Amino acid sequence: MPGPAVLAQIHEPWIRWDWVSSHTGVITHDLREHVVLTLIAVGVGMLISVPLAIVARRWHWFEAPVLSATGILYTIPSVALLALLVPWTGLTRTTAEIALVSYTLLILIRNIVAGLAGVPPDVREAAEGMGYSRARQLLRVELPLAVPVIVAGIRIAVVTTIGLVTVTALIGQGGLGQLILDGLYRDFRTEVVVGSALCVALATVADLTLVGIQRLAMPWTRKRGTT
């Protein structure tokens, strides 16, 4: 016959609503921290990726080294990268953000470069014929036309980062990952289910929000899709 511990685990419900109602403050705090970590990582990733992608598009020889370097960062396992960073930056948010930003760079740079490369040559020629400088052509013509591909990259980066943030719980900075990790340590299903479900919900809401922002910012794509 199974022992008392096994029987207790069998009868333990997947989610205890009494625990959820009494720990809403903890859950809200972890959810907020998860959102903040994600926003900082993607925001800093964009600040780094945009100039690198523009330079890579302007001077093609620079594209391969940038994509290779960011590709190497992307292939490093998240736990290993955190372990490499901890001796230098400690168990801090800085460590978590360095790792998270590193994983956004390949996605963002590749999509920005692809978006800029997808601008039709005749559009560039028309802009040059109108006397646009390179900077004005980039800001007024190329970047707006590249927005759909860039937003697609941001969506992938956001969803990926939301999942990776949970791993940073290993250094005490994991947002909802703290719930999952604590639940695993305590063999308490409710924390694991709540943390996992909120991660999925957060990724879904973030993705749909970005789609909505893109459709509002580019109404012509919506009209074209309905024809």
CATH of the domain at 73: 1.10.3720.10
In a domain, 46, yes or no: yes
Q: Is 173 among the domain residues?
A: yes
CA distance 149 to 142: 12
Cα separations in angstroms, 161 against 42, 47, 183: 8, 16, 21
- Tell me what pLDDT residue 227 has: 42
pLDDT mean over 197-217 = 90
Could you tell me if residue 20 is inside a domain? no
Q: Residue 105's pLDDT is what?
A: 95
Neighbouring residues of 131: CB distance < 8 A, sequence distance ≥ 6: none
- Residue 163 in any domain: the answer is yes
Is 14 inside any structural domain? no
| 73: containing domain | 27-221
| pLDDT band per the 50, 70, 90 thresholds, residue 223 | low
Cα–Cα distance for residue pair 29/38, rounded to 1 Å: 14
214 or 113: which leads in pLDDT:
113
Domain count, the chain: 1
Residue 91 phi, psi dihedral angles, 5° rounding: -85, 65
Q: Residue 21: inside a domain, yes or no?
A: no
Higher pLDDT, 221 or 18: 18
- For 126-153, what is each residue's pLDDT tens digit? 877 787 778 788 878 888 888 889 999 9
The answer as to whether 8 is a domain residue is no
Q: What does the alpha-carbon distance between residue 37 and residue 222 come to, in Å, rounded to a whole number?
A: 31
Give the other-Cβ count within 10 Å of 165's Cβ. 27
* Nearest residue to 59 via CA among 113, 6, 130, 102: 113
Asked, for residue 18, whether it belongs to a domain, the answer is no
Residue 207 has pLDDT above 70, yes or no: yes
d(CA 125, CA 146): 16
Q: pTM (2 decimals)? A: 0.87
Q: What is the pLDDT of residues 50-106, one digit of tens each?
A: 999 999 988 888 889 999 999 999 999 999 999 999 999 988 999 999 999 999 999
